[in-house]
Structure 1
Amino acid sequence: MTKLLIVDDEWMVSDSLRSMDEWKERNIEVVGTAGSGTEALQWLERTHLDIVLTDIRMPDMDGLELLQRLYESNPEINVILISAYEEFTYARTALRYQAKGYVTKPIDTDELFSIVDSLLFNEPASDGPKTYHEAIVERAISYMKTHLGKPLSLRETAEEIHLTPHYFGNVFKTVTGETFVNYLTQLRMKKACELLKNPELKQYEICERIGYADTKYFAKVFAKSFGMSPREYRQGYARKV
């Protein structure tokens, strides 16, 4: 699990960032919060860290000095800077010491997690999918295939893999190029074609096995997908064999 430390002298900001569900969705553990760069370094003495999310303006040791210290002693740690100011000198220092991102307050969470996700993409898996998002989609598709007979929804599938529906829907479309609904329909139509090859199965039985309660609606979706009715598809297959 990826380890994250939040560094900000404003406890309300730290607490708000720490409590976001998006960390768990990405298999990131927020190990704690620190109020200064000095306190962050103390955390590092007793805990392995992968990401440090730090404010710039803090008492004792600010975020830029912390960035420099980590660059010199622990360059493998990814540092993301937060600031209420858009100052060129900050950005220049951030670039010099290889900060992975720079986010201004008030924090745009979409921008923040876009940076976080880019860091997770850069961690190749030893087995299976290469990225975290691909792993999410692989799990989702596996669940969909084994539950085609149920009236599946994006929300239900997202809950099954412990993600928010909005986040899951965006990830699914990014990875597959299809919306959840379109991809699910394709899976059901592919399964319908397999089942139609069995002459003993009635059309309503096929509908039940792929999650459709209305045979007329199933026939309409099938015709839109393949340009023929389920009956015509079955007859065409029967002539081939």
Structure 2
Amino acid sequence: MYKALIVDDEQMIREDLQDFVGWKEAGFTEVHQAGNGAQALKIAADIRFDLVLADINMPGMNGIDMIRRLREQGCQAAMVVITAYGEFEYAKQAISLGVKEYVLKPIDFGELQALVSRIAGQLRATTEEERNRQFVREAELACAELLESAALLRREKAEEAVERLFAAQHALCQPLESVFPLLRQTIAEAESQLNSLDSSGYAVRQGVFLELLQRLAACESRQEAIMLFRQLAAHLTDGYEEAGTADRSSFSHLKALIREHLEEDISLEWLAQRVHRSANYLSVVFKRETGENFNEFLMRERMMVARQLLGSKEHRIVDVGMMVGYANYRSFNRAFKNYFGQSPSDYRSQYGSKP
């Protein structure tokens, strides 16, 4: 599980350190040796060590310099130095390099065994904590993709998200119970989305969501949990598909509403208040219907109208900016240049005509 590196210029000491410590019992499946600092640096360049046990006083490159070089190489291993009483003050320099443990000569192998076991325990705790954090990150992404894919009517993508979720659960050694809160949360978000889309349609489907929750409460196997997630993805996709025709017929109204109010401070929340839908739902609709997110769509609309208005010299450039939602010339100039690669004034000089 873990890997250790013993660094000492005396072979007998290296052998004793390897033979008289229960490395495997502590969780170290690999123990390597190096006879000097340079050799240690070469070995550590290819192997990620969890613990480095090094004599502080070695010819050529001492232990402190070696540890400094290891840190520069990116080695994050726990560092333990072996030192004599007379070298102890010198060893304190290692504190700045993250060395917190010392083994005094002559070596007490009982104390060293306890130290190695303690470090292994710290490594296990850190590893488990990192696995938990990584699972939460990957699980949240998978559930978000499940919801988005279902809303975009991409059934296969939604099922792939389910597969990734359970692959992460297995790879990161998470208990089956870790996915249950995720399913409950995803069901709640799915219900909210469908209710926002079509409250009457959601009312018809609500019983299926309740059944999924009831089956979740009695779930005892990984395969059954996977099936519940897959059924949620299919059920949610069907709900969006059934409501899709009404969405598409009304999408032209959304676009027209935006174009009529380009001079205003438009946002998803602004639009949601006017069409009595949730901002999250509208975000999905724009992505599905245009392939763009809402902000990309809004920017394109503003730039297309601005370019059309700049083609005529009927309006001042600053007024054109205000007509498409920019309160000042500087922000309009920056946005137009980022979008088209030239400033509004340059565009008008090149393409504009007299009124």
Q: TM-score, normalised by structure 1?
A: 0.54
Matched, 1:230 2:344: yes
Any gaps of 5 or more consecutive residues in structure 1?
1-16, 33-48, 57-79, 92-101, 105-110, 124-129
Aligned partner letter, 1:181: N
Indicate how the Cα distance of structure 1 residues 225 and 143 shifts in structure 2: closer, same or farther if over 3 A, else same. Answer: same
Residue equivalent to 1:176: 290
* Matches for 1:162-241 after TM superposition, within 5 Å: 162-238=276-352
- Runs (4+) off by over 4 Å: 49-52, 111-114
Cα distance, 1:139 vs structure 2: 3.3
- For the 8 Å contact 1:82–1:103, the answer to whether it is kept is no
Rounded Cα–Cα distance in structure 1 between residues aligned with 2:251 and 2:286:
6
In 2, Cα distance between the equivalents of 1:29 and 1:180?
A: 26
**Residue 230 of structure 1, CA deviation:** 0.7
Structure 1 residue 83 corresponds to structure 2 residue 238: no
Amino acid at match of 2:200: E
TM-superposed deviation, 1:178: 1.5
Identical-residue share of aligned pairs (%): 24
Name the SS for the 1:207 alignment partner. helix
Counterparts of 1:134 and 1:81 in 2: how far apart (Å)? 31
Cα separation, 2, equivalents of 1:136 and 1:113? 25
Determine helix, strand or coil for the equivalent of 1:150.
Answer: coil
How many residues in Structure 1 have an aligned counterpart in Structure 2?
164
Alpha-carbon separation, structure 2, partners of 1:29 and 1:122: 12
User: Unpaired segments of 5 or more residues in structure 2?
Assistant: 1-187
**Normalization by structure 2: what TM-score?**
0.38
Q: Name the one with the larger helix percent.
A: 2
Alpha-carbon deviation of 1:234? 1.0
Between the aligned partners of 1:171 and 1:114, the Cα distance in structure 2 is 18
Residue of structure 1 in register with 2:256 after alignment:
142
Matched ranges for 1:65-104 at <5 A: 83-84=215-216, 85-86=218-219, 103=228
User: Are residue 28 (structure 1) and residue 160 (structure 2) matched?
Assistant: no
CA distance 1:145–1:87, shift in 2 (3 Å): same
Q: Distance in 2 between matches of 1:158 and 1:118?
A: 24
- CA contact under 8 A between 2:263 and 2:324: conserved in structure 1? yes
- CA gap 1:201/1:179 in 2 versus in 1, 3 angstroms: same
Identify the range of structure 1 (201-210 vs 22-31) with the bigger mean alpha-carbon deviation. 22-31
Contact preservation (8 Å) 1:207, 1:218: yes
Determine if contact 2:313/2:353 at 8 Å carries over to the other structure. no
Root mean square deviation of aligned Cα: 3.9
Indicate whether 1:116 and 2:236 are aligned.
yes
Question: Separation in 2 of the partners of 1:149 and 1:114?
Answer: 41
